[in-house]
A and B are shown apart, each in its own frame.
Chain A
Amino acid sequence: MKRWGIILVAALIVAAFLSPFASPHPDGLERVAEDLAFSENGQLPAVRFSPMPDYTITVIHSEKVSTALAGIVGTLLTLVFTYGWTRILSKLP
């Protein structure tokens, strides 16, 4: 296996098997926003539609499976986008 393939497998393992067990608590910014009572400002996203809101695939009912699949999809999307633009950048005159 190519060396970079090993990192991709590692990323997919993290996305599939660790992300469903991530801490559900608010992160640092969300915590401060709640404590200082400005988290209400952030309730409405500018674009309502999201294919996988909050790292879930809404048609899948098992929360852990849903997060794992969203993680795998996101990991692959990030790979494809990064590879795509670096390739375009390298081809530019």
Chain B
Amino acid sequence: MHIPDGFLDAKTVVATAAASAFALKHNMAKVKEELNERELPALGVMAAFIFAAQMVNFPVMAGTSGHLLGAALAAVLVGPYSAGLILTTVLIVQCLFFQDGGLTALGANILNIAVAAPFVAQFVYNAVRKFNFAGSGTAATFLSAWFSVMAAAFLTSAELALSGTVRLGAVLTPMMIVHAVIGIGEGLITCAAVAYVGRVLNLKAKVSMNPDAGGGVN
């Protein structure tokens, strides 16, 4: 769901860049507090894994594909602040080296995928975990992934409408429908990846254990 150049007007470019810069500054302060030298390679390989996984588009309906965002994957394992910085790095690499996502849309893409999506994922994950039923961890992971995609799709639609590229009434429904399907793929991959990456790196799903710390690899 990377917005290319040309979809956003100047005011939306400036507003989203300012909002994501503000959020990232806050993220960095939070991550700095919880950063432990020994964990740095874990954050690096998680970013690398998300970059690789994002390349693998899967078919969703006739003539349409989707790919992992990884916002919930990262948020569940390392909390939304570290997740935000990991995803920002992925988005910058994609934009600068691979022309995936426009340079002028980088602020918007960061806001949607690296800032909003991990926080929605954390919120949904914690909300579902409260019920504490058998399999609530998996259900929480799946739903956090699905809602994180829907949140990013909603914001993308809103930014396109704000830019006057397309009417909100026209774009919102098709965006939400196609991403509701893509979100199922996101949910399935996230459940598998959280189980695998979490086990190998010895991370517990962090967000619910320590909600006010906002995560961190321990």
Contacts and interface: CB of A to CB of B under 8 A. Distances in A.
B127 interface: no
B57 A27 contact: yes
A59 interface: no
Interface centre among B28, B55, B104, B182 (most CB of A within 10 A): B55
Contacts of A8: 45, 48-49
Nearest to B106: A46
A4 B6 contact: no
A27 B86 CA distance: 22
Interface stretch (B135-143, B167-175, B204-212): B167-175
- Mostly, the A contact residues are helix
Given A15-B52, A35-B174, A71-B52, A83 B103 contact: no
Interface stretch (B14-22, B92-100, B115-123): B92-100
Given A2-B41, A29-B3, A52-B97, A11 B64 contact: no
A27 B160 CA distance: 16
A46 B104 contact: yes
B27 to A, nearest CB: 10
- Mostly, the B contact residues are helix
B125 interface: no
Interface string A37-71: 01001111111001111110000000000010011
B128 interface: no
A79 B45 contact: yes
Contact of A27 (B67, B98, B171): B67
B103 A47 contact: yes
A40 B121 CA distance: 32
Interface of B: 1-7, 28, 31-32, 35, 37, 40-53, 55-60, 63-67, 85-86, 89-90, 92-94, 96-100, 102-104, 153, 156, 160, 165-166, 170-171, 174-175, 178-179, 182, 196-197, 200-202
5 contacts: A7-B201, A22-B56, A22-B65, A29-B3, A80-B44
